[in-house]
Structure 1
Amino acid sequence: MSDIQNFKPVQKYETFSYLPEMNADQVRKQIEYCLAQGWNPSVEYSEKEHAMSPYWYMWKLPFFGEQSVEAVLQEIEECRRSNPGMMVRFVAYDNYAQSLGMAFVVDRGR
């Protein structure tokens, strides 16, 4: 019995949250993929206690037609600085399928 450990649930926010936290290069590659698909990037943020809600605050409007990974990363960083302690996620909209192409948390608001 001493080998059994208590299960401690960990809050999962999206698909990538089941993996180890992404480093800056991995985040960059995911954004590059989204832009290569022609998806429109966006940045959202929320308080931790409301993170499971599908509705997060939108940081500016989606960046329609944006092709620069650097510009998206700059907006993510600006959102982090302007909203300390809040969670920040990257979202990419697929305008052909009229749906969400990808979304993942880039800052858990430590």
Structure 2
Amino acid sequence: MSIQTDDYRTKSTLETFGFLPEFTADEIYDQIVYIINQGWNCSIEHEDPANTSAHYWGMWKLPMFGERDPNAVLAEIDQCRSAYPNHVIRLIGYDNYTQCQGHNFVVYRPRGM
């Protein structure tokens, strides 16, 4: 069995769950609930697909400090997607205690990526 390197290089895997199929809306909701239940703060970032590996991603507004409603986080993701329909969008859970990212994953990829 040999690895097709051309196929491997063209498949873009991003962040924690990059090797899995795209999440359904329910699975994204469950991940948001997980972030909130850990006491972490949600933040949304977006970037043009061509630049996802080149530099830091742009932040959508400020992190949602203290937000406990998963639907509010989903609404912000939808607003970001409306403003940047051709960008990759990821959700991050910031851990205040360790002062680092506790969780992150892509919630939206444009078609063809």
Give the TM-score of the pair, scaled to structure 2. 0.89
2:16, 2:103 within 8 Å by CA — same for their partners in 1?
no
SS at match of 1:19: coil
What is the TM-score of this pair, normalised by structure 1? 0.91
Q: Which residue of the partner structure matches residue 72 of structure 2?
A: 71
Aligned to 2:87: 86
Aligned-pair distance for 1:64?
A: 0.2
CA distance in 1, matches of 2:66, 2:2: 52
Q: Secondary structure at the match of 2:62?
A: coil
| CA RMSD across the alignment | 1.5
Size of the aligned set, in residue pairs, is 108
What are the superposed Cα offsets for residues 2-57 of structure 1, whole Å, 9 maximum, x if unpaired?
A: x9784411111112010111100000000000000100001110000111145111
Distance 1:94 1:40 in 2: 7
Question: Does structure 2 retain, via aligned residues, the 8 Å contact 1:88–1:109?
Answer: no
Percent identity over paired residues? 44
Structure 2: which amino acid aligns with 1:86?
A: H
1:1-110 equivalences in 2 (<5 Å)? 6-7=4-5, 8-9=7-8, 10-110=11-111
Amino acid at match of 2:33: E
Counterpart-to-counterpart distance in 2, 1:58 and 1:95: 18
* Structure 1 unaligned regions, length at least 5: none
> How far 1:84 sits from its partner (Å)?
1.4
Rg larger in structure: 1
User: Compared with structure 1, are the counterparts of its residues 4 and 92 closer, same or farther at alpha carbon in structure 2 (3 Å cutoff)?
Assistant: closer
Q: Secondary structure at the match of 2:43?
A: strand
Change (3 A) 1:26 1:54: farther
